[in-house]
């Protein structure tokens, strides 16, 4: 059985693997989404599903919400809603998502509309975890480095965001709240204001984490431990790069980076060199690169759940089979040696 771990201090228990869904509606059909859900949840015991109103990716106005709709039709047919932990996310600001209700922000009216739309598509009365997909302010996320401070009159203050989220919790539409693509300052500000004002305390943070991007360890890992705000790690396979399928310049038909050249975060020369080294290390120890990459993420002590996503059942089965794998000291030492030479090539 896949182990469960506490979701912050909510009292909820989530499996150490979470089923990611962002390809459903673009690279995967509704039938394929249902097959993945049934296999992961009913055959393999995963109880945690993560989605977003933004999905599928790449985000487009004409496909927006399709992923939640696919999950909703499966939930309606399956029933037994209460044995699952369902998470979704409210879109953040940006001109590239202006098709969301005229331009999204984390205001009370926006969040009320966003949750109602998500619940309708998901065909459920509540979500267990409601996350802010990215911050409602200028800061570093989605691989951006070199922070440059800028204030905007359109930024929603954190106390107003938390007050709006409190109303969603009181209404019963949301059980717990979380952050995504956040910074250490952001997490601590949400926690400090919540505790001072008696507002809901965030239970988790969903940020990227993989062998190619361990920036979470720099400031957020300590926050995760000390504040019980565990990591929900996304892109643990770096958009599939850490399966090895793009090595030597390969571009398999139908693969995400082959289809969508906008996903260049994990395909720079330094990332390629690091991936080659990790692939060699895995082979030396009788592991696949996928197994090693996923097991490394799942076993980090600050990780609450590792979000796995797949476009084929074969991929999904291999991803789930990584659970329970313990990496030897020799493998871990090898990983650290590579990381020292090629630190965080894909932030």
Q: With beta carbons less than 8 A apart as the criterion, state whether 324 and 251 touch.
A: no
Q: With beta carbons less than 8 A apart as the criterion, state whether 7 and 224 touch.
A: no
d(CA 322, CA 63): 32
Q: Which pLDDT does position 255 carry in this prediction?
A: 67
Q: Which pLDDT does position 263 carry in this prediction?
A: 67
Q: With beta carbons less than 8 A apart as the criterion, state whether 322 and 291 touch.
A: yes
Secondary-structure class of domain 4-341 per CATH: alpha beta
Q: With beta carbons less than 8 A apart as the criterion, state whether 16 and 305 touch.
A: yes
pTM, 2 dp: 0.97
Strands of the chain, DSSP E: 4-6, 13-15, 17-20, 48-50, 85-90, 127-132, 174-180, 204-208, 230-234, 303-308
Find, among 128, 137, 126, the residue nearest to 161 by Cα: 137
Write out pLDDT tens, residues 112-146.
Answer: 999 999 999 999 999 999 999 999 999 999 999 99
Q: Once rounded to an integer, what is the mean pLDDT over residues 57-85? A: 98
DSSP-derived 3-state class of residue 169: helix
**Length of the chain (residues):** 347
**Catalytic residue among 55, 70, 110, 278, which?**
55
| Structure tokens, 111 | 């969040």
2 phi and psi angles, rounded to 5 deg: -75, 130
Find, among 69, 145, 156, the residue nearest to 106 by Cα: 156
Q: With beta carbons less than 8 A apart as the criterion, state whether 3 and 322 touch.
A: no
- Give the confidence band of 264 by pLDDT, cuts at 50, 70, 90: confident
d(CA 124, CA 20): 18
Q: Which pLDDT does position 229 carry in this prediction?
A: 98
126 Cβ contact list (under 8 Å, min separation 6): 119, 172, 173, 174, 175
DSSP-derived 3-state class of residue 142: coil
The mean pLDDT value of the chain amounts to: 96
| Percentage of residues of the chain with pLDDT beyond 90 | 91
Write out pLDDT tens, residues 222-234.
Answer: 999 999 999 999 9
| Structure tokens, 264 | 């260049």
Dihedral of CA atoms 300, 255, 314, 71 in degrees, nearest 10, equals 80
**Cα of 285 vs its chain's centroid, Å:** 29
Annotated active-site residue 246? The verdict is no
| Residue with token string 């310049």 | 249
Q: Which pLDDT does position 160 carry in this prediction?
A: 98
Query: Is residue 58 reached through a cis peptide bond, with omega within 30 degrees of 0 on the bond before it?
Result: yes
pLDDT at 260 over 90: no
- Give the confidence band of 55 by pLDDT, cuts at 50, 70, 90: very high
pLDDT at 257 over 90: no
pLDDT at 35 over 70: yes
d(CA 256, CA 243): 12
Q: Once rounded to an integer, what is the mean pLDDT over residues 311-319? A: 97
- Give the confidence band of 262 by pLDDT, cuts at 50, 70, 90: low
| Percentage of residues of the chain with pLDDT beyond 70 | 97
- Give the confidence band of 253 by pLDDT, cuts at 50, 70, 90: confident
């Amino acid at each position: 059985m896949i182990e469960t771990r506490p979701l912050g201090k909510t009292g909820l228990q989530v499996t150490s693997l979470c089923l990611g869904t962002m390809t459903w509606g673009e690279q995967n059909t509704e039938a394929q989404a249902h097959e993945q859900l049934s296999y992961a949840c009913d055959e393999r015991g995963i109880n945690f599903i993560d989605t977003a109103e933004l999905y599928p990716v790449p985000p487009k106005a004409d496909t927006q919400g399709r992923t939640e709709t696919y999950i909703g039709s499966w939930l309606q047919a399956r029933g037994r809603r209460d044995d699952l932990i369902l998470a979704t996310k409210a879109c953040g600001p940006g001109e590239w998502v202006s098709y969301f209700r005229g331009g999204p922000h984390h205001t009370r009216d926006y969040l009320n509309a966003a949750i109602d739309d998500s619940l309708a598509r998901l065909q459920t009365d509540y979500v267990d975890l409601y996350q802010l997909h990215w911050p409602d302010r200028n800061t570093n996320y989605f691989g951006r480095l070199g922070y440059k401070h800028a204030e905007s009159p359109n930024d929603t203050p954190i106390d107003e965001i938390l007050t709006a989220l409190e109303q969603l919790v009181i209404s019963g539409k949301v059980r717990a709240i979380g952050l995504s693509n956040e910074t250490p300052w952001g997490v601590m500000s949400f926690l400090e204001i919540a505790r001072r004002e008696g507002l809901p305390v965030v239970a988790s943070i969903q940020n990227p984490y993989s062998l190619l991007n361990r920036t979470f360890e720099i400031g957020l890992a300590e926050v995760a431990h000390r504040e019980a705000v565990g990591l929900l790690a996304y892109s643990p396979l770096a958009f599939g790069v850490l399966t090895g399928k793009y090595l030597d310049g390969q571009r398999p038909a139908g693969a995400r980076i082959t289809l969508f050249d906008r996903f260049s975060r994990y395909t720079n020369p330094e990332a390629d060199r690091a991936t080659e080294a990790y692939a060699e290390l895995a082979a030396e120890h009788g592991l696949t690169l996928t197994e090693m990459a996923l097991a490394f993420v799942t076993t980090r002590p600050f990780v609450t759940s590792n979000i796995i996503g797949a476009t084929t059942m074969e991929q999904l089965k291999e991803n789930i089979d990584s659970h329970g794998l313990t990496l030897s000291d020799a493998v871990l030492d090898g990983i650290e040696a590579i990381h020292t030479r090629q630190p965080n090539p894909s932030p």
